[in-house]
Amino acid sequence: MTETEPAAADAPAELRILLVEDNEHDRIAFTRALRACPQPHTIEACVRADEALARLAETPQAFDIVVVDYNLPGDNGLTLCRILLEGEMPTPIVLLTGSGSEQIAVEALKLGISDYIIKDPDEGYLRLLPTVLPHIVRCHCAKQAGRRADNALRDAAERLAQIVNGLSVAAFVIDRDHIVTHWNRACEAMTGTSASEVVGTRQQWRAFYVSERPVMADLILDNAIEADVDRFYHGKFRPSALIGGAYEAEDFFGTFGERGRWLFFTAAPIRDAQGRVVGAIETLQDVTERRVAEAALKESETRFRELSITDGLTGLYNSRHFFERIEAETSRATRHQEPLCLLMMDVDNFKRFNDTYGHLEGDRALATLATAIRSVLRTSDSGFRYGGEEFVVMLPNTRILAAATAAERLRKRFATAPIRIASGVTLHSSVSIGVAQFEPGENAASFIGRADKACYQAKHAGKNCVATYTASVG
């Protein structure tokens, strides 16, 4: 297990998949694609939504993931997802949608599904399944582990009232003179410091720090204000929402155990019948596992985000991420009055290439173009697979002449790049590129449309060339 993988303890040894898909061809393709999955798995298929509902009602925990196609007889896949989610089904759901169904996918995400996968015409999505489905399940397990850890903390907080009597949580008490009066067995086990070493002394700090300094209970006893607490626990503490004059914090203690431990600790005043502070109690809880789970979950979510915005074939960003970025970049360009250009490109004669050499070789051509795109990108630039054989490059802070120069460099690089197909033959292809510069006041759709028209102009001019947008195009 790598550091970026979620903890595997809760992940299933065998991936149990329920596929809800009425198209026999797609069911067969799905099953064949999962043969590349390194994890043992089983697939059970339903062709109708009502069949899936009946199967899940029978044994809700029988599957680790449910994959639903949008186009189903009777109720569509989105309706099925809504019913399952309203029933609080604990299993992650993935929706399969056709190309151009991003709006449906967005609606599904709002409902609460785990993810969606677009069934592109070239069936490139099938290559994602062996990796993405196990990843979604692992992320789901990691999130559940995080929830269990958080629930454990809440349960511990509810038991706070029982600490003094039960002493089941690590705790120590100091009196008004800062002398330790009690150091329970749980505190001994946690800190490695015995009660005999500290009871009757003012050396409570020894268990936590390498040099003398006040612990939180000392600060509470001195009626510390937030500024005083902040000196020692800057950015790590907050006033208690439950007890007046109390504070809670979370910090790492490197001297605990072999690698150190994360502790959540609280300190509250002890008052006599007249309300005078006569001491303070500090309690400590080991939250290392939760911290580790949170770190693993954060890393998993980052990896999942990267997968969700990346085209599996080319490694460039996908169209969904393009539409997110174009809105942000056009807003930024308007706000800062900076130039912004788009390169819209289309592989020439791609259908003929596919028909002649096959889709696998067509994929090699697209991957070769993606490599050429990456080779000319600056750090601030972004490349996207727009759809099929169409690609987009976004060039912030770039005017149209510089953009056209970059487009020409890209065109030449792809035209000379070798495409080595399985037969050993080396082929070449070409690309037509349209260039447009953002005009202040226009919307993203208009900007994209002008770049697309420029690409059409390049096609009309004989292909394998670069054209900049002119009003006469189209």
Rg (CA), the chain: 30
- Which of 9-13, 69-73, 355-359, 400-404 is most confident? 400-404
Query: Helix, strand, coil proportions of the chain in percent (round to 5)?
Result: 45, 20, 35
The more confidently predicted of residues 399 and 104 is 399
Strand partners, 117: 96
Residues 408-416 have a mean pLDDT of 95
Chain-centre distance for alpha carbon 176: 50
pTM of the predicted model as reported, rounded to 2 decimal places: 0.42
Lowest-confidence region among 7-21, 278-292, 446-460: 7-21
Which three-class secondary structure state does DSSP give residue 458? helix
Lowest-confidence region among 144-158, 289-303, 360-374: 144-158
Over the stretch 236-260, which tens digit does the pLDDT of each residue have? Answer: 888 877 777 788 888 888 777 777 8
The confidence band for 168, taking pLDDT boundaries of 50, 70 and 90, is low
The CATH 3.40.50.2300 portion of the chain extends over 15-155
Distance CA 455, CA 411 (A): 12
Distance CA 281, CA 290 (A): 24
The confidence band for 112, taking pLDDT boundaries of 50, 70 and 90, is confident
The confidence band for 152, taking pLDDT boundaries of 50, 70 and 90, is low
The confidence band for 154, taking pLDDT boundaries of 50, 70 and 90, is low
Pairing of strands 180-183, 170-175: antiparallel
The CATH 3.30.450.20 portion of the chain extends over 167-292
Q: Check 258, 389, 390, 439 and give the catalytic one.
A: 389
The confidence band for 159, taking pLDDT boundaries of 50, 70 and 90, is very low
With beta carbons less than 8 A apart as the criterion, state whether 452 and 343 touch.
no
- Which of 164-168, 289-293, 327-331 is most confident? 327-331
Q: According to the model, what pLDDT value does residue 250 have?
A: 86
117: left (phi over 0), alpha (psi -120 to 50) or beta: beta
Whether the predicted pLDDT of 158 surpasses 80: no
Residues 247-276 have a mean pLDDT of 84
The confidence band for 263, taking pLDDT boundaries of 50, 70 and 90, is confident
Q: According to the model, what pLDDT value does residue 66 have?
A: 92
Pick from 332, 334, 364, 330: nearest CA to 350: 364
The CATH 3.30.70.270 portion of the chain extends over 309-468
Residues 199-216 have a mean pLDDT of 89
Chain-centre distance for alpha carbon 142: 12
The confidence band for 410, taking pLDDT boundaries of 50, 70 and 90, is very high
Distance CA 243, CA 320 (A): 48
In the annotation, is 389 catalytic?
A: yes
With beta carbons less than 8 A apart as the criterion, state whether 386 and 334 touch.
no
Longest CA span, the chain? 94
Lowest-confidence region among 10-24, 124-138, 217-231: 217-231
The more confidently predicted of residues 57 and 10 is 57
- Percentage of the chain lying above the pLDDT 70 cut: 91
Over the stretch 300-349, which tens digit does the pLDDT of each residue have? Answer: 676 777 778 888 899 999 999 999 999 999 999 999 999 999 999 999 99
CATH, domain 15-155, list 3.40.50.300, 3.30.70.580, 1.10.3720.10, 3.40.50.2300: 3.40.50.2300
- Percentage of the chain lying above the pLDDT 90 cut: 39
Euclidean distance between the first and the last CA atom of the chain, given in angstroms as a whole number: 55
* CATH code of the domain made up of 167-292: 3.30.450.20
246-255 contact pairs (CB < 8 A, 24+) = 246/220, 247/216, 247/219, 247/220, 249/216, 250/287, 253/208, 255/208, 255/210
* CATH code of the domain made up of 309-468: 3.30.70.270
With beta carbons less than 8 A apart as the criterion, state whether 137 and 145 touch.
no
